[in-house]
Structure 1
Amino acid sequence: MGGFIFKPLLYCYILLGQLAPVKPAAKLPHPIHVSTSNIEYNVKDNRFEVICTVFTDDFEAALVKQYHAKTDLNKTEMHAAMDALIKEYIAANLKLSADNAPVKLNYLGFEINRGSTDIYLESDKLPPVKKVDVDASLLYNLFDDQINIVHIIVNGVRKSEKVNYPDKRVEQVF
Protein backbone atom coordinates (compact mmCIF):
# COMPACT_ATOMS: atom_id res chain seq x y z
CA MET A 1 0.00 0.00 0.00
CA GLY A 2 2.88 2.36 0.81
CA GLY A 3 4.23 1.95 -2.73
CA PHE A 4 0.85 3.02 -4.15
CA ILE A 5 1.10 6.50 -2.55
CA PHE A 6 4.85 6.80 -2.99
CA LYS A 7 4.89 6.46 -6.80
CA PRO A 8 2.41 9.31 -7.56
CA LEU A 9 4.22 11.58 -5.09
CA LEU A 10 7.52 10.76 -6.73
CA TYR A 11 6.10 11.55 -10.18
CA CYS A 12 4.65 14.85 -8.91
CA TYR A 13 7.99 15.77 -7.39
CA ILE A 14 9.84 14.97 -10.60
CA LEU A 15 7.39 16.91 -12.79
CA LEU A 16 6.69 19.88 -10.53
CA GLY A 17 10.20 20.06 -9.17
CA GLN A 18 11.41 20.80 -12.68
CA LEU A 19 8.90 23.64 -13.03
CA ALA A 20 9.99 25.45 -9.87
CA PRO A 21 11.79 28.73 -10.52
CA VAL A 22 15.55 28.65 -10.25
CA LYS A 23 15.80 32.29 -9.17
CA PRO A 24 13.93 33.62 -6.15
CA ALA A 25 11.03 35.95 -6.87
CA ALA A 26 11.96 39.60 -7.32
CA LYS A 27 11.64 41.75 -4.25
CA LEU A 28 8.18 43.26 -4.18
CA PRO A 29 7.87 46.99 -3.54
CA HIS A 30 6.38 47.95 -0.21
CA PRO A 31 2.93 49.54 -0.38
CA ILE A 32 3.69 52.47 1.92
CA HIS A 33 6.11 55.33 1.32
CA VAL A 34 7.13 56.82 4.65
CA SER A 35 10.16 58.37 6.28
CA THR A 36 10.77 59.59 9.81
CA SER A 37 12.86 62.50 11.01
CA ASN A 38 13.72 62.57 14.69
CA ILE A 39 14.93 66.06 15.62
CA GLU A 40 16.04 66.45 19.23
CA TYR A 41 17.50 69.52 20.90
CA ASN A 42 20.24 68.30 23.25
CA VAL A 43 20.30 70.74 26.17
CA LYS A 44 23.69 69.49 27.42
CA ASP A 45 25.42 70.23 24.10
CA ASN A 46 23.07 73.04 22.96
CA ARG A 47 22.64 71.50 19.53
CA PHE A 48 20.10 69.62 17.46
CA GLU A 49 20.71 65.92 16.83
CA VAL A 50 18.83 64.56 13.83
CA ILE A 51 18.21 61.03 12.59
CA CYS A 52 16.30 60.56 9.33
CA THR A 53 15.14 57.03 8.51
CA VAL A 54 14.05 56.00 5.01
CA PHE A 55 13.57 52.70 3.20
CA THR A 56 16.91 51.94 1.54
CA ASP A 57 15.47 50.88 -1.83
CA ASP A 58 13.33 54.02 -2.05
CA PHE A 59 16.22 56.24 -0.99
CA GLU A 60 18.53 54.75 -3.62
CA ALA A 61 15.84 55.29 -6.27
CA ALA A 62 15.40 58.92 -5.16
CA LEU A 63 19.16 59.52 -5.37
CA VAL A 64 19.30 57.98 -8.86
CA LYS A 65 16.37 60.09 -10.04
CA GLN A 66 17.81 63.29 -8.56
CA TYR A 67 21.48 62.90 -9.52
CA HIS A 68 21.47 60.36 -12.40
CA ALA A 69 24.33 58.53 -10.70
CA LYS A 70 24.90 54.89 -9.85
CA THR A 71 23.96 54.22 -6.25
CA ASP A 72 24.49 51.34 -3.88
CA LEU A 73 24.31 52.21 -0.22
CA ASN A 74 25.45 48.71 0.79
CA LYS A 75 28.77 48.67 -1.07
CA THR A 76 31.70 49.71 1.11
CA GLU A 77 33.75 50.88 -1.88
CA MET A 78 30.98 53.36 -2.81
CA HIS A 79 30.55 54.77 0.70
CA ALA A 80 32.42 58.06 0.05
CA ALA A 81 30.47 58.71 -3.17
CA MET A 82 27.19 57.90 -1.39
CA ASP A 83 28.11 60.26 1.47
CA ALA A 84 28.46 63.12 -1.02
CA LEU A 85 25.08 62.39 -2.67
CA ILE A 86 23.26 61.94 0.63
CA LYS A 87 24.74 65.13 2.10
CA GLU A 88 23.53 67.14 -0.90
CA TYR A 89 20.10 65.45 -1.01
CA ILE A 90 19.41 65.95 2.70
CA ALA A 91 20.56 69.59 2.58
CA ALA A 92 18.01 70.21 -0.19
CA ASN A 93 15.13 68.25 1.37
CA LEU A 94 15.37 68.82 5.12
CA LYS A 95 15.51 72.40 6.37
CA LEU A 96 15.39 73.44 10.00
CA SER A 97 14.98 76.78 11.73
CA ALA A 98 14.90 77.65 15.41
CA ASP A 99 13.22 80.81 16.66
CA ASN A 100 12.89 81.99 13.03
CA ALA A 101 16.63 81.66 12.31
CA PRO A 102 17.91 79.03 9.83
CA VAL A 103 19.86 76.19 11.42
CA LYS A 104 22.74 74.64 9.48
CA LEU A 105 22.71 70.86 9.77
CA ASN A 106 26.08 69.14 9.52
CA TYR A 107 26.03 65.73 7.86
CA LEU A 108 27.69 63.06 10.01
CA GLY A 109 27.07 59.90 7.99
CA PHE A 110 24.66 57.07 7.31
CA GLU A 111 24.20 53.40 8.11
CA ILE A 112 22.01 50.61 6.79
CA ASN A 113 19.73 48.94 9.30
CA ARG A 114 17.60 45.98 8.09
CA GLY A 115 16.19 47.49 4.90
CA SER A 116 16.24 51.08 6.05
CA THR A 117 18.88 53.79 6.00
CA ASP A 118 19.56 56.01 9.00
CA ILE A 119 21.08 59.41 8.19
CA TYR A 120 22.77 61.32 11.00
CA LEU A 121 23.06 65.11 11.26
CA GLU A 122 23.71 67.68 13.96
CA SER A 123 23.66 71.44 14.25
CA ASP A 124 26.28 73.81 15.55
CA LYS A 125 25.75 75.11 19.10
CA LEU A 126 22.60 77.17 19.58
CA PRO A 127 20.99 79.04 22.45
CA PRO A 128 17.93 77.32 23.98
CA VAL A 129 15.02 77.23 21.53
CA LYS A 130 11.29 77.88 21.89
CA LYS A 131 10.05 77.50 18.30
CA VAL A 132 11.14 74.94 15.72
CA ASP A 133 10.19 74.94 12.02
CA VAL A 134 10.97 72.03 9.71
CA ASP A 135 10.57 71.71 5.95
CA ALA A 136 10.68 67.98 5.17
CA SER A 137 10.35 66.89 1.55
CA LEU A 138 12.28 63.61 1.66
CA LEU A 139 11.44 61.34 -1.30
CA TYR A 140 8.95 63.86 -2.74
CA ASN A 141 10.90 63.63 -6.00
CA LEU A 142 9.90 59.95 -6.18
CA PHE A 143 6.42 59.43 -4.73
CA ASP A 144 3.26 61.53 -4.73
CA ASP A 145 1.90 59.54 -1.78
CA GLN A 146 4.99 60.07 0.40
CA ILE A 147 4.44 60.57 4.13
CA ASN A 148 7.09 62.21 6.30
CA ILE A 149 6.68 61.81 10.04
CA VAL A 150 8.55 64.48 11.98
CA HIS A 151 9.28 64.13 15.70
CA ILE A 152 10.65 67.23 17.44
CA ILE A 153 11.92 66.96 21.01
CA VAL A 154 12.89 70.00 23.07
CA ASN A 155 13.52 69.83 26.84
CA GLY A 156 12.12 66.30 26.94
CA VAL A 157 8.81 67.36 25.34
CA ARG A 158 8.05 65.44 22.15
CA LYS A 159 5.72 66.77 19.47
CA SER A 160 5.07 64.76 16.32
CA GLU A 161 3.37 65.55 13.06
CA LYS A 162 2.57 63.60 9.90
CA VAL A 163 3.23 65.51 6.69
CA ASN A 164 1.64 64.24 3.47
CA TYR A 165 2.90 65.10 0.00
CA PRO A 166 2.92 67.90 -1.21
CA ASP A 167 2.88 69.60 2.22
CA LYS A 168 6.26 69.84 3.90
CA ARG A 169 6.04 72.38 6.73
CA VAL A 170 6.00 71.53 10.45
CA GLU A 171 5.90 74.28 13.09
CA GLN A 172 6.10 73.55 16.81
CA VAL A 173 6.32 75.88 19.80
CA PHE A 174 7.75 74.62 23.09
Structure 2
Amino acid sequence: MHILLLFLLFSVAPHPIHLTVMEIYRAENSKNLECSVTLFSDDFARAIQYETYAPQIQGGKLKVEDLMLKYLRSKLQMKINGKSTAYTLLRTENTPETITCYLKLSLPAAETQKIEIVSKLMLELFNDQRNLVQIRIPGKKEGAISLDKTKTESTATLAPD
Protein backbone atom coordinates (compact mmCIF):
# COMPACT_ATOMS: atom_id res chain seq x y z
CA MET A 1 0.00 0.00 0.00
CA HIS A 2 2.70 2.51 0.96
CA ILE A 3 4.81 1.76 -2.10
CA LEU A 4 1.73 2.23 -4.30
CA LEU A 5 0.98 5.53 -2.55
CA LEU A 6 4.59 6.65 -2.97
CA PHE A 7 4.38 5.83 -6.68
CA LEU A 8 1.09 7.71 -7.02
CA LEU A 9 2.36 10.76 -5.16
CA PHE A 10 5.45 11.27 -7.28
CA SER A 11 4.42 10.03 -10.71
CA VAL A 12 2.00 12.85 -11.46
CA ALA A 13 2.76 15.36 -14.19
CA PRO A 14 2.85 18.99 -13.03
CA HIS A 15 -0.50 20.76 -13.24
CA PRO A 16 -1.16 24.44 -14.01
CA ILE A 17 -3.81 25.05 -11.33
CA HIS A 18 -3.80 24.69 -7.57
CA LEU A 19 -7.20 23.61 -6.34
CA THR A 20 -8.92 21.63 -3.62
CA VAL A 21 -12.56 20.63 -3.82
CA MET A 22 -14.49 19.99 -0.64
CA GLU A 23 -18.03 18.70 -0.41
CA ILE A 24 -20.17 18.65 2.73
CA TYR A 25 -23.12 16.25 2.54
CA ARG A 26 -25.32 13.90 4.52
CA ALA A 27 -23.90 10.40 4.39
CA GLU A 28 -26.00 7.63 2.88
CA ASN A 29 -27.65 5.42 5.52
CA SER A 30 -26.59 7.90 8.19
CA LYS A 31 -27.94 10.98 9.90
CA ASN A 32 -24.49 12.54 10.23
CA LEU A 33 -22.66 14.95 8.02
CA GLU A 34 -19.62 13.86 6.09
CA CYS A 35 -17.12 15.78 4.08
CA SER A 36 -14.86 14.86 1.20
CA VAL A 37 -11.71 16.82 0.42
CA THR A 38 -10.02 16.19 -2.92
CA LEU A 39 -6.47 17.42 -3.42
CA PHE A 40 -3.81 16.95 -6.08
CA SER A 41 -1.57 14.08 -4.97
CA ASP A 42 1.73 15.85 -5.59
CA ASP A 43 0.61 18.99 -3.75
CA PHE A 44 -0.65 16.97 -0.79
CA ALA A 45 2.62 15.03 -0.65
CA ARG A 46 4.50 18.32 -0.39
CA ALA A 47 2.10 19.68 2.22
CA ILE A 48 2.40 16.66 4.54
CA GLN A 49 6.16 16.48 3.90
CA TYR A 50 5.89 12.90 2.67
CA GLU A 51 9.53 12.67 1.57
CA THR A 52 10.72 13.65 5.05
CA TYR A 53 8.61 10.95 6.72
CA ALA A 54 8.92 8.25 4.01
CA PRO A 55 11.48 6.14 5.94
CA GLN A 56 9.24 6.04 9.05
CA ILE A 57 6.17 5.25 6.93
CA GLN A 58 7.93 2.49 5.03
CA GLY A 59 9.31 1.14 8.32
CA GLY A 60 5.80 0.93 9.79
CA LYS A 61 6.50 3.49 12.51
CA LEU A 62 4.15 6.11 11.06
CA LYS A 63 0.97 5.93 9.01
CA VAL A 64 0.54 8.27 6.07
CA GLU A 65 -3.12 8.65 7.11
CA ASP A 66 -1.95 10.16 10.42
CA LEU A 67 0.08 12.78 8.53
CA MET A 68 -2.92 13.52 6.31
CA LEU A 69 -5.29 13.99 9.24
CA LYS A 70 -2.77 16.12 11.15
CA TYR A 71 -2.41 18.41 8.13
CA LEU A 72 -6.16 18.63 7.51
CA ARG A 73 -6.86 19.48 11.16
CA SER A 74 -4.21 22.21 11.12
CA LYS A 75 -5.54 23.83 7.92
CA LEU A 76 -9.28 23.10 7.87
CA GLN A 77 -11.68 24.07 10.64
CA MET A 78 -15.45 23.96 10.63
CA LYS A 79 -18.10 25.26 12.97
CA ILE A 80 -21.65 24.03 12.67
CA ASN A 81 -24.34 26.14 14.34
CA GLY A 82 -21.57 28.08 16.06
CA LYS A 83 -19.85 25.04 17.60
CA SER A 84 -16.42 23.79 16.58
CA THR A 85 -16.86 20.47 14.85
CA ALA A 86 -14.39 17.64 15.23
CA TYR A 87 -13.88 15.17 12.41
CA THR A 88 -12.28 11.81 11.85
CA LEU A 89 -10.75 10.32 8.73
CA LEU A 90 -12.99 7.52 7.46
CA ARG A 91 -10.98 6.51 4.39
CA THR A 92 -9.04 7.78 1.42
CA GLU A 93 -9.33 7.14 -2.31
CA ASN A 94 -6.35 7.57 -4.60
CA THR A 95 -6.11 8.11 -8.34
CA PRO A 96 -2.87 8.87 -10.17
CA GLU A 97 -3.67 12.61 -9.93
CA THR A 98 -5.71 13.07 -6.74
CA ILE A 99 -6.32 11.95 -3.19
CA THR A 100 -9.79 12.23 -1.69
CA CYS A 101 -10.08 12.17 2.09
CA TYR A 102 -13.50 11.27 3.50
CA LEU A 103 -14.21 12.82 6.89
CA LYS A 104 -17.01 12.11 9.37
CA LEU A 105 -18.28 15.19 11.18
CA SER A 106 -19.67 15.03 14.69
CA LEU A 107 -23.13 16.49 14.08
CA PRO A 108 -26.39 15.19 12.59
CA ALA A 109 -27.26 16.79 9.23
CA ALA A 110 -30.85 17.63 10.19
CA GLU A 111 -29.69 20.04 12.89
CA THR A 112 -27.44 22.02 10.54
CA GLN A 113 -28.47 25.66 10.15
CA LYS A 114 -25.13 27.40 9.64
CA ILE A 115 -21.69 26.18 8.55
CA GLU A 116 -18.57 28.28 9.09
CA ILE A 117 -15.46 27.15 7.24
CA VAL A 118 -11.85 28.22 7.59
CA SER A 119 -9.72 26.65 4.87
CA LYS A 120 -6.01 27.35 4.57
CA LEU A 121 -5.32 24.17 2.60
CA MET A 122 -2.17 24.51 0.47
CA LEU A 123 -1.98 28.27 1.00
CA GLU A 124 1.50 27.88 2.47
CA LEU A 125 2.62 26.41 -0.86
CA PHE A 126 0.80 28.34 -3.60
CA ASN A 127 -0.23 31.99 -3.97
CA ASP A 128 -2.86 31.07 -6.58
CA GLN A 129 -4.47 28.28 -4.51
CA ARG A 130 -8.28 28.03 -4.63
CA ASN A 131 -10.33 26.01 -2.15
CA LEU A 132 -13.86 25.32 -3.33
CA VAL A 133 -16.59 24.10 -0.99
CA GLN A 134 -19.93 22.67 -2.07
CA ILE A 135 -22.71 22.01 0.44
CA ARG A 136 -25.37 19.38 -0.38
CA ILE A 137 -27.68 18.53 2.50
CA PRO A 138 -31.16 17.14 1.75
CA GLY A 139 -33.90 19.58 2.71
CA LYS A 140 -31.51 22.56 2.57
CA LYS A 141 -30.62 24.83 -0.34
CA GLU A 142 -27.34 23.86 -1.92
CA GLY A 143 -24.49 26.30 -1.82
CA ALA A 144 -20.93 26.84 -2.94
CA ILE A 145 -18.07 28.82 -1.43
CA SER A 146 -14.75 29.82 -2.99
CA LEU A 147 -11.82 30.51 -0.66
CA ASP A 148 -8.27 31.64 -1.42
CA LYS A 149 -5.32 33.45 0.13
CA THR A 150 -7.30 36.70 0.46
CA LYS A 151 -10.43 35.04 1.84
CA THR A 152 -9.81 32.00 4.02
CA GLU A 153 -13.13 31.86 5.82
CA SER A 154 -16.81 32.01 4.98
CA THR A 155 -20.20 31.24 6.49
CA ALA A 156 -23.13 29.52 4.80
CA THR A 157 -26.57 29.90 6.32
CA LEU A 158 -28.65 26.94 5.21
CA ALA A 159 -32.23 27.87 4.43
CA PRO A 160 -34.84 25.16 3.92
CA ASP A 161 -35.44 24.08 0.33
In structure 2, the CA distance between the partners of 1:40 and 1:112, relative to structure 1 (3 Å rule), is same
Give the gaps of 5 or more residues in structure 1.
1-25
Give the gaps of 5 or more residues in structure 2.
1-10
Higher Rg of the two aligned structures: 1
Task: Give the alignment partner of residue 161 of structure 1, picking from 107, 130, 145.
Answer: 145
Task: Give the alignment partner of residue 119 of structure 1, picking from 88, 97, 101.
Answer: 101
In structure 2, the CA distance between the partners of 1:53 and 1:71, relative to structure 1 (3 Å rule), is farther
Task: Give the alignment partner of residue 40 of structure 1, picking from 25, 44, 58.
Answer: 25
Q: 1:22 aligns to what?
A: none
CA distances 1:118-140 after superposition (whole Å, capped 9, x unpaired)? 00101124361111111111111
Task: Give the alignment partner of residue 48 of structure 2, picking from 63, 78, 100.
Answer: 63
Q: 1:147 aligns to what?
A: 130
Asked whether the 8 Å contact 2:12–2:42 carries over to 1, the reply is no
Q: Secondary structure at the match of 1:163?
A: strand
Q: What residue identity is the alignment partner of 2:113?
A: K
Give the TM-score, by structure 1 length.
0.72
Q: What RMSD in Å do the two structures reach over aligned CA positions?
A: 2.8
Q: 2:83 aligns to what?
A: 101
Equivalenced residue count is: 145
Find out whether 1:173 has 2:157 as its counterpart.
yes
Q: What residue identity is the alignment partner of 1:63?
A: I
Alignment of 1:70-85 (within 5 A): 70-71=53-54, 81-85=63-67
How many angstroms apart in 2 are the aligned matches of 1:40 and 1:134? 14
Q: What residue identity is the alignment partner of 1:131?
A: K
Q: Secondary structure at the match of 2:70?
A: helix
Q: 1:14 aligns to what?
A: none
How many angstroms apart in 1 are the aligned matches of 2:107 and 2:13? 43
